[in-house]
Amino acid sequence: MWSWVAHRVTGVLIFFFLFVHVLDTALVRVSPEDYDKVVATYKTPIVACLEYGLVAAILFHALNGLRVIAVDFWSKGPRYQKQMFWTVMGVWIVLMVGAIYPVLGHAARVLFGS
């Protein structure tokens, strides 16, 4: 049940991110100076944390989507869906731990110095 809810929520969050991304990229044609100001705000530690959340949402949505495909198209999928869910969670946690430094490294250097 919760994986179903999380899959829908992450899908909606990813959709809104893509919508905002298209809007801010389109701003470059309207006003390059304003575009530069918007992009400058993306280099803050708060936005780095939001980017980490985006990575979390995309990874969970992708991995859970593969689990949903397996449940739908593999004849034994419904029988093993709980084990597949915990496998997805394990892989997601490992990948999220691996993403800490690449995504949040710059923010940590800004906040705490090099």
User: What are the structure tokens assigned to 70, written together?
Assistant: 């397996």
Listed in sequence order, the residues at least 6 apart from 10 whose beta carbon sits closer than 8 Å to its beta carbon are 57, 58, 60, 61, 64
Listed in sequence order, the residues at least 6 apart from 3 whose beta carbon sits closer than 8 Å to its beta carbon are 64, 67, 85, 88
User: In the chain, where are the structural domains located?
Assistant: 1-113
Going by the annotation, the residues of the binding site for heme are 61
What percentage of the chain carries pLDDT values higher than 90? 71
1-113 belongs to CATH 1.20.1300.10: yes
pLDDT, one tens digit per residue, over 81-112 is 999 999 999 999 999 999 999 999 888 888 88
Going by the annotation, the residues of the binding site are 61
pTM, 2 dp: 0.87
d(CA 50, CA 52): 5
pLDDT, one tens digit per residue, over 20-57 is 999 989 988 999 898 999 889 888 899 999 999 999 99
Q: What is the mean pLDDT of residues 15-22?
A: 94
